Structure 1
Amino acid sequence: MGLTEDRVAVVTGASRGAGKGIALALGEAGTTVYVTGRTRSSRESDLPGTVLDTAEEINERGGTGIPVICDHSRDEQVAALFQQVEREHGALDVLVNNAFTIPPDLARKGPFWEKSLGLQSMFDVGMRSAYVASYYAAPLLIRNSAGLVVNTSSFGGRCYMHGPAYGAGKAAVDKLAHDMAVDFRPHNVAVISLWMGLLKTERTKALFEGAPDRYKSFAAGAESPEFTGRLIDALARDPDLMKRSGQVLIGAELGEELGVRDIDGTSPHSHRETLGAPPTFNKAVVQ
């Protein structure tokens, strides 16, 4: 299977950060990309980037960007998004579940009970939003008898990272990918969870610039958000894609295997040796 021609993709949470980079890379490869997010105006966030900005840059790079204001905590808005895709294109080739809430105190040190209870919002826009988007996308993905769903995730699903709420959320989207792959397999739709490394996003760039000496080594090894988009493009073109379905993959290692490099020509480093290997799920299927 290879999704190479006239692809239509939905990238959730793409106003900025990982989602924006993924959307830009897919758009540059000629994909029609529905860009979703809540940020309509730069005045709505302390960080740069809006849904419309991302869509406009996709157009400038030769793709087609379609901005859709969508709050992924609101199921009716998610349903409306995929109704729009169906009206305008009739089917869907790629869904990237990237929408994620980042609470202000996520990275603050200390036990979970000393942090805000609001960290559970990551279960909503993160774990739950991936399930809901996949639910509404499914009829469109199976219509072409070929498709790809990617859940963006991280090593936090396997090691302690930012506390139990973050870790549980990432482990959950990894398991969602495995189990959804079972249901999608008869329809030739692959589902993968992709572990990203530290990314050079608007948020982390501000952090690096605020303390350049402290974060120098981290900044040097960080990936661009577009690297993940390039990986997803390569996966969509891979004729052996279905062999990977249901797996949790480390982005840096997948890049080495598929010959994908970052936008600066480098090959990002895998953190398997320090942060852990992806989980291996049992092959048993209980209906």
Structure 2
Amino acid sequence: MSEARINPDGALKGRNALVTGASRGIGEAIAARLAMEGARVVASARTAEEGESRLSGTLHETVERIRRAGGEATFIKADLAQSVERERLVEEATAAYGPIDILINNAAITYFIPVEEFPEKRFKLMMEVQVYAPFHLSQLVLPAMRERGRGWIVNISSPAGLHPQPPYGRGRGGTVYGMCKAALERFTTGLASEVHEAGIAVNVVSPGLVDTPGVAVHGLINEQTRDRVQPIEYIAEAVYRLASGDPKTMTGRIEYAEPFLKSLAVKPAELV
């Protein structure tokens, strides 16, 4: 991995990035990686300060991490399950730094419950946060992207979006999660085709299994899966590459982080 540092004259100099789900885990890593290339980063999530969540990590800590390293960042607390909150988020992010050049849709809320037992309220909440929120946020940032003739949207998916394959066994109740990610990926490719001529790239990064606070809560890392754990730097690097690529050629992609970086002959940078 290359040395961790903020490069104010990096490839993202002068660009404004909005990263959702950035209080911890993958979102925090993405925010740091974009800032390392000179982007002004707006980090958003529901957890702004310590004590607001049972999970470790806060927006305050994410922003302080970037600022200590010499980067530029601010945070906006928002609940993406609420339409009015999504609208406020984009308005305040734009007021802070200017129109959004890069939108990273990473926020998620996930329940692993078998279909027969899945409550309607939780089903609708997952669809709202993982599918409609990225759709709505994209709607909100696209007009300014069109006006400037450039923009990058990266949606964070999961291999759960792939169809299960035989031999079938006892599942973990991940059907609804898989539905959300499959829908997100189809949205990505569809939107990419719609905005290609406007110079806007829309892509997916699908992480492998990553050791994050959310993954730990669901117990997804165990003796059977431990050898599949992927360093978080791979996901952050893949997102950065898709958020800085040529929209004419690097769009409409569903990329798995590690093989994508190998195809570019790129090693992930160490994070600040």
Q: Considering fraction of residues, name the structure with more helix.
A: 1
Q: Give the superposition deviation at 1:235.
A: 2.5
Number of the residue aligned with 1:154: 158
Structure 1 residues 40 and 237: alpha-carbon distance in aligned structure 2, compared to 1, 3 A threshold: closer
Structure 1 residues 48 and 89: alpha-carbon distance in aligned structure 2, compared to 1, 3 A threshold: same
Matched, 1:225 2:212: no
Matched, 1:38 2:42: no
Q: Give the superposition deviation at 1:206.
A: 6.4
Q: Give the superposition deviation at 1:116.
A: 4.0
User: What one-letter code is carried by the residue in structure 2 that aligns with 1:39?
Assistant: T
Q: How many residues end up aligned between the 2 structures?
A: 254
Matches within 5 A, 1:137-152: 137-152=141-156
Identity %: 26
Q: Contact 1:28–1:63 (CA<8 Å) still a contact in 2? A: yes
Number of the residue aligned with 2:19: 11
Q: Give the superposition deviation at 1:67.
A: 0.5
Matched, 1:185 2:169: no
Q: Give the superposition deviation at 1:34.
A: 0.5
Matches within 5 A, 1:23-62: 23-62=31-70
Distance in 1 separating the partners of 2:75 and 2:99? 17
Number of the residue aligned with 1:114: 117
Q: Give the superposition deviation at 1:221.
A: 3.0
Structure 1 residues 58 and 220: alpha-carbon distance in aligned structure 2, compared to 1, 3 A threshold: farther
Structure 1 residues 62 and 257: alpha-carbon distance in aligned structure 2, compared to 1, 3 A threshold: farther
Task: Output one character per residue of 1:56-111: Cα deviation in whole Å (capped at 9) or x when no partner.
Answer: 111123321110011101111211221223333332211001111123xx1x6xx3
Q: Which consecutive residues of structure 1, in runs of 5 or more, have no partner in the other structure?
A: 266-287
Task: Output one character per residue of 1:114-157: Cα deviation in whole Å (capped at 9) or x when no partner.
Answer: 34442442101100111111111112222321111001001111
Q: Contact 2:203–2:242 (CA<8 Å) still a contact in 1? A: no
- Return the TM-score normalized by structure 1: 0.80
Number of the residue aligned with 1:123: 127
Number of the residue aligned with 2:222: 215
CA RMSD of aligned residues (A): 2.5
Q: Contact 1:12–1:98 (CA<8 Å) still a contact in 2? A: yes
Number of the residue aligned with 1:250: 256
Q: Is the partner of 1:178 in helix, strand or coil?
A: helix
Q: Which consecutive residues of structure 2, in runs of 5 or more, have no partner in the other structure?
A: 1-9, 165-171
Structure 1 residues 13 and 41: alpha-carbon distance in aligned structure 2, compared to 1, 3 A threshold: same
